[in-house]
Structure 1
C-alpha cells in the first residue's frame, strides 16, 4: 500500500544507510522500489540514467523523481526531505562529537566503511550493467567508454555527451 509515511520511511532509510554517496545508494533505492512495487526494473534504470545526468546528488534526484511519480509534488517534497534528513542529523551529531577529537576514531570508522562502500558501488555497477548491456552495440559502447576513461584524459562530461549523440544517431 502506498502511503506518504511509507515513502518517507523508505527514503529516510536510504539516506541513513547510504554510506558512500549516490552510487552506493543505488542498491538500497532499487530494493525499496521493487519491494514496494513503485517501479519496474526498467523504470528504475531509466530513473538512474535521469538522476545521473541531472545536476545534483543521485539520491536526492531519485527521491524527488520517485516521490513525484508516486504522490505528486507533496511526494517529491516528502521523499527529498527524508533522504536528506539523516545526513543532516548524523552530520550535526558527528560534528559535535568529533569536534575536539584527535581524528583516530574517525579514521578507524572510515577505514572499515570504505571497503563496504566499494562493494555497494560494484554491486550497483553489476545490477545496472546486466540490465543495460544487452547486445553487441551496448557492449561495445561500454568497452569504448572504459577504454576512454582509462587511457585518455577526456572529461567524463564529454564522454556522456558523446554517447548521448551516438544514441540519437543510431537508435
Structure 2
C-alpha cells in the first residue's frame, strides 16, 4: 500500500489563495460599510450639534447686539447672519471631526474583524481541502491497488488450482 504524505504545498497554496480572496472581500465590504456608516453618523451628529450650537450662539449674540441697535431690524439681520455663519463654521468643524473619528474607529474595527475572519476561514478551508484531497487520493489509490492485487492473486490462484485439479482429476471435467 502506497502512502502519500500530507500535501503541504497544496495546503499552503490553498491557504494563501483562500486567505487573499476572503480578506479582500471582507476588507472591501467592511471598508464600504465603515465609510457609509461613518458618513451618515457624522453628518447627522454634526448637523444636530451645529444647529443647536449655532442657534443658541446666534440668539444670544443677536439679542445683545440688537439691544444696542434698533430692535427689530438689527435683531433679524444679525440673527440670520450670525446663525448662518456660526452654523456653517460649527457644522464643518463638527462634521470633519466626527467623520474622521467615527470612520477611523469603525475602519480599524472592521479591518481587524475581516483579518481575523479571513485568517480563520482560510486556514480551516485550506486544511480541510488539503486533508480531504490527500485522504481521497490515498484511499482511491490504495483501493485500486488492493483490488487489482487481490483480483490478480485470486485469478491466478483459482486458475492454477483449476488447472492442477483438471490434470489430477480429469474425469470431473469430462463428464
- TM-score normalized with structure 2 length: 0.22
**Larger relative contact order (CA 8 Å, sep ≥ 6):** 2
Flag the structure with higher helix content.
Answer: 2
**Higher-Rg member (1/2):** 2
Q: Normalising to structure 1: TM-score of the pair?
A: 0.22
